[in-house]
């Protein structure tokens, strides 16, 4: 009996990007895998085939620039870690400029073949309607945003009534360093300190009456995204899209999320703002701020154009744009340990979008990590977490503890699904950004580009060290 067959198998539920990647990583570590996939027995409202890693939306994996784009950095790190998803994407790439886009059928076929051909992976076509039986010992749930209702109910029963979100109302998130603080100022409404606050917990963007009316007109005229039938009821109390509120009356926003009461413009105290947009710190690092009350169905292009009409946000860069859509994800920061294991049930891990990440590569990367962690545990090895300075580590940190916690909202509301972005990475050491020789004016976009290049370079070097590899940054770009 070989060493590889001496281990009990690890069960992976879900054959999407995360589940396929998890299975691949486990098997390549020499541990057998049983991959359970529902499609082929029971379909979903979104999938068209029973192929593994089917792409149900776009065929784009987004930017492949590892020198100054966070998505490109996570691409590079996954390639370094032997990712099946990235290898299959590279093999079936189609022209898309600086982005990595794929032939979706060829990509899915390649993943399916690789999984079926691996001698340590067994694919079982069946629906798992409840939590994995405890005799499985080690399992990973990677069932994505369209988790079957029966399994979702079982997860909810295990983790608590408030553990699952079935509908997402997401406000845009802005990079802190792209906000013009010569226009905006820090202040909580009525200078209220509150639990863990300072009285200056929000960034405030003031509007005159003319600016407010122009903004409302743009919202009402904005292009919105329609709901797909399977996404269910679109609105619920407290989560009306900002453009829907604007349509209900010109003054609605000024008496709702944009009310100016209790705020004094630090730059011009004698002039009362007609309306104020507030941004609240979104992550523990203080690099990201979300636009309070700005959940929206506007298309992405319209969002960026309209929200840059807000004073102080003219040059805003968005880590995430807003939306409302059906999603199933757990409250990971309170439920999962740093190795993605359910705290209430040792041996059971979660991976992919159900953990609270967004995007193809992000989902696959969390599968990659969950697979590596599970394999290490099965083999009796010490689990090695990726450094927080890497893309993999920063995304893992967001999922398992990077959100803000307050006494009033212990984790749930402050944790929402997120794509990989530079706002999740720790800041550079002071003095890291140095003006290039011969350059007189070094600020704004030029400084931001250098900052991102340095963060990317650090990430790849630290990921290489974690994986035991030497990294040549220029070659990985």
Q: What is the dihedral of CA 98, 104, 106, 111, to 10 degrees?
A: 100
Q: What percent of the chain has pLDDT over 90?
A: 57
Q: What is the pLDDT of residue 80?
A: 97
pTM: 0.77
- Residue 429 CB contacts under 8 Å (≥ 6 apart), including other chains: none
Tens digit of pLDDT for each residue in 293-348?
A: 898 888 888 999 999 999 999 999 999 888 766 667 888 998 999 999 999 999 99
Statement: residue 226 has pLDDT above 70 = no
Strands 10-13 and 33-37, bridge-based pairing: parallel
User: What is the three-class DSSP state of 101?
Assistant: strand
Statement: residue 130 has pLDDT above 50 = yes
Tens digit of pLDDT for each residue in 263-277?
A: 999 999 999 999 999
Q: What is the pLDDT of residue 151?
A: 86
Angle at which helix 17-28 crosses helix 104-117, to 10 degrees, equals: 30
- Residue 17, classified by CB atoms within 10 Å of its CB into exposed (0-12), middle (13-18) or buried (19+), is buried
Q: What percent of the chain has pLDDT over 70?
A: 86
- Residue 341 CB contacts under 8 Å (≥ 6 apart), including other chains: 347, 348, 349, 373
Tens digit of pLDDT for each residue in 134-150?
A: 899 999 999 887 777 88
Give Dmax over CA atoms of the chain in angstroms.
82
Angle at 284 between CA 283 and CA 287, to 5 degrees: 60
Q: What is the pLDDT of residue 433?
A: 83
Statement: residue 404 has pLDDT above 80 = no
Strand segments (E) across 112-163: 121-125, 139-141
Closest Cα partner for 179 from 283, 312, 319, 322? 312
């Amino acid at each position: 009996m070989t060493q590889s067959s001496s281990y009990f198998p690890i069960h992976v539920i879900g054959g999407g990007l995360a589940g396929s990647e998890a299975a691949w990583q486990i098997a390549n570590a020499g541990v057998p895998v049983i991959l359970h996939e529902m499609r082929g027995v029971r379909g979903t409202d979104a999938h068209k085939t029973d192929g593994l890693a089917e792409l149900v939306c776009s065929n784009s994996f987004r930017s492949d620039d590892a020198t100054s784009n966070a998505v490109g950095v996570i691409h590079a790190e996954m390639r370094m870690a032997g990712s099946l998803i990235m290898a299959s994407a590279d093999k079936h790439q189609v022209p898309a400029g600086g982005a990595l886009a794929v032939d979706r059928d060829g990509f899915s076929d390649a993943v399916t073949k690789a999984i079926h051909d691996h001698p340590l992976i067994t694919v079982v076509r069946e629906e798992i309607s409840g939590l994995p039986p405890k005799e499985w010992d080690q399992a990973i749930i990677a069932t994505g945003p369209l988790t079957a209702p029966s399994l979702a109910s079982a997860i909810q029963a295990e983790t608590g009534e408030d553990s699952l979100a079935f509908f997402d109302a997401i406000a845009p998130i802005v990079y802190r360093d792209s906000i013009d603080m010569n226009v905006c100022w820090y202040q909580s409404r009525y200078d209220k300190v509150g639990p863990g606050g300072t009285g200056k917990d929000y960034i405030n963007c003031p509007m005159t009456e003319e600016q407010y009316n122009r903004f409302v007109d743009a919202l009402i005229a904005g292009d919105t995204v329609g709901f797909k039938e399977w996404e269910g009821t679109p609105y619920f109390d407290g989560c009306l899209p900002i453009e829907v509120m604007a349509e209900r009356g010109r003054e609605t926003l000024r008496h709702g999320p944009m009310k100016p009461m209790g705020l004094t413009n630090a730059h011009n105290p004698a002039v009362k703002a007609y309306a104020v947009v507030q941004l609240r710190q979104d992550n523990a690092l203080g690099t990201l701020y979300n636009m309070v009350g700005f959940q929206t169905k506007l298309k992405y292009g319209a969002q960026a154009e309209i929200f840059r009409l807000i004073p102080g946000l003219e040059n805003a860069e968005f880590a995430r744009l807003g939306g409302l859509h059906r999603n199933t994800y757990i409250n990971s920061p309170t439920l999962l340990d740093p190795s993605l294991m359910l705290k209430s049930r040792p041996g059971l891990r979660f991976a992919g979008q159900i953990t609270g990440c967004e995007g193809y590569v992000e989902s696959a990367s969390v599968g990659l990590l969950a697979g590596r962690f599970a394999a290490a545990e099965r083999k009796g090895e010490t689990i090695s977490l990726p450094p927080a300075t890497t893309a993999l580590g920063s995304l893992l940190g967001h999922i398992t503890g990077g959100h803000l916690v307050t006494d009033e909202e212990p984790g749930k509301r402050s944790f929402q699904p997120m794509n990989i972005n530079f706002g999740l990475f720790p800041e550079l050491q002071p003095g890291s950004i140095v003006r290039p020789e011969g350059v007189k004016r070094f600020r704004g976009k030029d400084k931001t580009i250098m900052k991102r290049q340095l963060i990317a370079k650090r990430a790849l070097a630290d990921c290489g060290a974690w994986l035991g590899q030497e990294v040549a940054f220029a070659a990985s770009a």
